Chain A
């Protein structure tokens, strides 16, 4: 008896939806560019906080004595700096609406104005933080690998 009752309910629900249609509010469309901006900013901040937490955890556990962990702490510090650099850069690009306007044969210039001009220019060189971060991470993992090799008979 139970399946028949379920089927009746299903058909009843379908009929009700058909008879009383209303705007579908199941999801909200996200086409606002500002949303993307905030998502990216939050992603950078969460990344930075996680790396900060990781570095602090390693430090508090006195793991920096191990060369591998020491390199990971440095990597985390550079990741934090890179993320902060990105947050500031993104924020300035939104605030000052600075764009590359003149590209002539690859010899483009950035026309900048306002107090954040130089800061914005420097944030564009974000790889100066990101490359060392990856480099230290690589060295850290390599150090663990060497430890393991030394342990092996």
Chain B
């Protein structure tokens, strides 16, 4: 028979119970403050509920032990034996509650990961939209400046010729000692300076093509199709391409056009059911190059078609409603037009026409 002192057990139990009581209450207090700052954070909510269950467990257990010790020391064994099953039962229930909440963490984690992925996707989309917006702004500004420069040059050139011509004549006719000769000289010099300014404006106008380079439209369409090939295959769609046999050269902004065409094709992919067909053709007439994207998707009702180019109008869950607005703006910047023809359950046809006035294909 071994006899061991019971005092260390009692001391550890009493001090331990007291510490558990304090720590569980402090933990719950912290968790409450945490969730109060961000009530929509799934992780904080999970921690809050876990802390609540742990606090109830800690308090129930610690009080049970402390009360038990007090009752035993004061000789109230009978009362303690009466309370004990309730305290034990409650602790068992709370243990299972804690376990249930903890096991829920797996789902919380999945939810959290998905939220993070969505957040990242949103951030990337916002960045993309911002970059596109900046490019569009730069393009619009550049175009405005070019047009302004051209307008000013046109407006100034003719009166300047008159002023310059007459001042030159006056200078020739005036005698060397004539005081008006100096005036004519001053007018000639001023006219010359103005001519230089007009020249600068013209140079600025010549730079207007900096955002537009000579590109083969077919090549841009082909590159977009290559990028989206995986998406077509993933959805098991029939992609039919009918690109014009010859290169379609035109002054284009390659990056912007790729964004616009990719967006239109993605729309077609999303709208078309598996085994459906998406047809992409390019063509040219005397003044335009054409891109036609046809799908056999769900189509759109007439009231939707009228709103497609309105900012923030979207029929997609999580869509920004800005995609088609950008597409239209990109086509507008190319001085082109975009047309939509859609019928519910039959499909949608998008036609883009871009002018070929800068075409150098025939040069």
A interface vs B, CB < 8 Å? Answer: 36, 39-40, 43-44, 46-47, 49-51, 53-54, 57, 61, 100, 103, 106-113, 117-118, 121, 124-128, 130-131, 134-135, 137-138, 141-142, 144-145, 148, 152
Contact = CB atoms under 8 A, between A and B. Distances in A.
B26 interface: yes
Contacts of B9: 110, 121, 124-125
Given A125-B9, A145-B30, A50 B92 contact: no
15 contacts: A40-B92, A43-B92, A47-B99, A50-B100, A51-B102, A61-B109, A109-B5, A112-B3, A121-B9, A125-B9, A134-B27, A134-B54, A137-B27, A144-B47, A148-B37
A43 B61 CA distance: 14
B105 A100 contact: no
B70 interface: no
Nearest to B17: A127
Interface residues of B, number: 49
Contacts of A128: 12, 16
Nearest to B16: A127
Nearest to B101: A50
Interface of B: 1-10, 12-13, 15-17, 19-20, 23-24, 26-27, 30-31, 33-34, 37-38, 44, 47, 51, 54, 58, 73, 85, 88-89, 91-93, 95-96, 98-100, 102-103, 105-106, 109
Nearest to B72: A103
B44 A131 contact: no
B98 A47 contact: yes
A54 to B, nearest CB: 5
Given A100-B6, A111-B1, A113-B2, A134 B19 contact: yes
A138 B20 contact: no
B7 A57 contact: no
B99 A46 contact: yes
B105 A144 contact: no
B103 A112 contact: no
B117 to A, nearest CB: 14
Given A109-B3, A126-B16, A131-B20, 9 more contacts: A106-B73, A108-B6, A113-B2, A117-B4, A127-B13, A131-B16, A134-B23, A134-B27, A141-B51
Contact of B105 (A57, A125, A126): A57
Contacts of A144: 34, 44, 47
Given A125-B9, A141-B30, A148-B34, A47 B96 contact: yes
A50 B26 contact: no
Contact of A134 (B6, B37, B58, B105): B58
* Top-7 shortest CB links A-B: A127-B16, A50-B99, A108-B6, A134-B23, A43-B95, A50-B102, A43-B92
A143 B73 CA distance: 40
